[in-house]
């Protein structure tokens, strides 16, 4: 009977710690990146990364890419 109680307590503590860990990770990522729910938030590194990772084609030059991404030529 003692082993059964120990296993039950171990299960309950493991479950509680797992739920606490999941909640902590979830709320941390929620605070870090709220775009999961609000896609209208543009962050500066997103726009820069989009410009740097834009597909290079022979019909585009860098000024065209700046106009497409930023709306104006960056100085």
Ramachandran assignment for 71, one of left (phi > 0), alpha (psi -120 to 50 degrees), beta (any other) = left
Instruction: State whether 2 and 31 are in the same domain.
Output: yes
Instruction: State whether 50 and 73 are in the same domain.
Output: yes
Domain that holds residue 20: 1-35
pLDDT score of 66: 76
pLDDT digits (tens, 9 = 90+) for 28-58: 888 777 765 666 666 656 666 766 666 666 6
CB contact at 8 A, 69 and 61: no
Instruction: State whether 27 and 53 are in the same domain.
Output: no
Report how many domains make up the chain.
Answer: 2
Instruction: State whether 48 and 75 are in the same domain.
Output: yes
User: For the whole model, what pTM was predicted?
Assistant: 0.44
**Of 46, 41, 42, 47, which Cα lies nearest the Cα of 69?**
47
Instruction: State whether 65 and 48 are in the same domain.
Output: yes
């Amino acid at each position: 009977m003692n082993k059964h109680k120990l296993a039950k307590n171990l299960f309950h503590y493991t479950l509680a710690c797992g739920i606490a860990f999941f909640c902590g990770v979830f709320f941390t990522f929620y605070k870090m990146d709220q775009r999961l729910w609000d896609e209208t938030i543009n962050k500066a590194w997103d726009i820069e990364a989009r410009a740097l990772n834009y597909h290079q084609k022979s019909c585009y030059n860098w000024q065209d890419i700046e106009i497409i991404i930023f709306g104006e030529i960056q100085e």
